Amino acid sequence: MQKPQYDLCCEVLRRLRAQRVLPYLVLTGSWCLLLYRQYFERDELFSSLRTRDMDFLVPIPLTLRDKINLPELFKDLGFLTEYKGTAGYMQLIHPEVMLEFLVPQRGRETDRPFDLPQLGLNAQRLRYMDIALMKPIKLMFEDVPIRVPHPACFALHKLLVAPRRKEAFKQARDIEIAVELLNLLFDRNDQPVLKEILNRFPASWRKTALKVLSGAGQETLHDRLAELGP
C-alpha cells in the first residue's frame, strides 16, 4: 500500500476511535484482506490490486448514543461528500481513499439508502451482510484495533454474493478470494468455525455456496465444505 494512502486510512480510523464510533463499525471489503495477513500470520498473502473503497458495515439498529457528523469530521482532511448512483448513496471521497457505509439488507429488496442520522450520512443496503456480523474478530490496523468479519464469514459471504454480481470480473474476483480464504482456513484447521457459521445458514444459502464452488471447478473444496454442513 502507498504511504499517503496508509497514513490517511490510519488517521480516519484514529478519528473514528476518538469519537467512540469505531467499536460500532466492522471494516469489510478488500481492506480486510490486508488485515487477514495477521490472522494467518503470513505477510505475503493477498498482495493483489486493491481499489480505493474502504467499506464500513454498520450494524442496525445502531445503538450509538452521541451523534457525530462524519462528513464534517473528515472535511479538513479534504474529503468531499458524493452521492453515488441514482439512489444517492453517500460516499466520502478523497484521491487516496473512498469511504462507504453499508448496512445489511433485510426483507424486501430496495434501492433506497438507509439513513443513519447518528452519523450524518446514509448507507447502502446489501444482501447477506449479516454474515459479516456473525463472528467479528479484532485485528490491528497500525495502532488501531478494528473489527473485521471472521475470514470464514468473509469467504462464505463472497460465495453468496458472487452469483448476484452484474460484472463478470467482480464475480470471478469474489470466487477467487473465497477459494483462497477457504483453503487457508482448512490449512489452519479452522473447520470448527466454518462449521459453526454454516450451521447458522439457512439451507438455501449453504446450497448456493456449494453450487458456486462446484461451478468454479473447486470440487475438492466443495466436498470438504459439504462435509461440514448439517
Nearest alpha-carbon partner for 30 in 58, 52, 8, 6: 52
What minimum distance in Å lies between the beta carbon of 80 and another protein?
5
CB of 88 to another protein, least distance (A): 14
Residue 108 is classified by DSSP as S
Phi, psi of 88 (to 5 degrees): 80, 45
12 SS3 class: helix
Q: Which of 31, 32, 65, 55 is nearest to 125 (CA)?
A: 55
83 or 192: CB nearest another protein: 83
Instruction: Round to whole Å and give the CA distance between 184 and 220.
Output: 14
95 vs 192, beta carbon nearer another protein: 95
Nearest approach, Cβ of 173 to another protein (angstroms)?
5
Q: Kindly list the residues in this chain that would bind another protein in the complex (CB under 8 A).
A: 48-49, 51-52, 78, 80, 82, 93-95, 98, 167, 169-170, 172-173, 176
Residue 166 to residue 99: CA distance in whole angstroms: 22
Question: Closest distance between another protein and the C-beta of residue 44, in Å?
Answer: 16
- Decide whether 46 or 56 has the Cβ nearer to another protein: 46
| Least gap, CB of 14 to another protein (angstroms) | 19
Of the candidates 142, 128, 144, 140, the residue with the CA atom closest to the CA atom of residue 178: 128
CA nearest to 124, candidates 108, 104, 107: 104
**For residue 111, what is its C-alpha cell?**
434501492
CB closer to another protein out of 77 and 228: 77
**Nearer to another protein (CB atom), residue 95 or residue 215:** 95
Q: Annotate 28-41 with b (16+ C-beta within 10 A) or e (fewer).
A: bbbbbbbbbeebbe
Q: Could you give the count of Cα atoms lying within 13 Å of 222 in the half-sphere of its Cβ?
A: 14
Nearest approach, Cβ of 204 to another protein (angstroms)? 29
Q: Which is nearer to another protein, 54 or 146 (CB)?
A: 54
In terms of CB distance, is 48 or 214 closer to another protein?
48
Least Å distance, CB 47 to another protein, is 11
